[in-house]
Amino acid sequence: MASTIRCDIVSAEHEIYSGDAELVVATGELGELGIAPKHAPLITRLKPGKVVVTLPGGQHLDFAISGGILEVQPNVVTVLADTAIRAEDIDEAAVRAAKEEAERVLASKDPKMSLEEAQAQLAMSLAQLSALERLRKNLKH
């Protein structure tokens, strides 16, 4: 039996996932992090992007987050995300519209949205589209 670590992914709104994992991969400030059972304790900020949870048996769960904190303790890894969504729950049309709006605001410096808000919206949109792409790729196999 493969060893596992407990994984909890929570956002400001609610708990997104809680269960055992063989591996948790997330994008930290300095690059990708792979958290396996018996990983050293760690706290780091997360960039907007994907979180991939490998379940016992090899199945992957994909999540898109807008940033947050990753905490690793001896028996649990916790992702405290500003916002998080499962790949299968992403509304692709809404994400593409948000991405286009953010790109338009960044190109024209539209005053209805701050530069920081537009950059954050663009990063989250790209993370969600990446999670959708990975989900579709996994479904084909």
pLDDT in tens, 50-105: 899 999 999 999 898 888 999 999 899 999 998 888 877 777 787 788 778 888 87
pLDDT given at position 8: 97
140 or 68, which is more confident: 68
- Distances, alpha carbon 23 to alpha carbons 57, 68, 109, 115, in Å: 11, 19, 41, 35
Share of the chain above pLDDT 70, in %: 89
Q: Which residues pair with 65 in a beta bridge?
A: 49, 84
pLDDT given at position 110: 64
pLDDT given at position 72: 96
pLDDT given at position 6: 96
What is the Cα–Cα distance from 92 to 128, expressed in whole angstroms?
A: 8
Count how many residues are written for the chain: 141
pLDDT given at position 67: 87
pLDDT given at position 1: 47
What is the Cα–Cα distance from 33 to 50, expressed in whole angstroms?
A: 11
Checking if the pLDDT of 18 tops 90, the result is: yes
Is 128 in contact with 134 (CB distance < 8 Å)? no
- Distances, alpha carbon 78 to alpha carbons 89, 120, 137, in Å: 21, 22, 26
pTM (predicted TM-score) = 0.73
* Residues ≥6 apart with Cβ < 8 Å to 111: none
DSSP three-state, residue 95: helix
Name the most confidently modeled range: 19-23, 61-65, 101-105, 111-115: 19-23
Checking if the pLDDT of 23 tops 90, the result is: yes
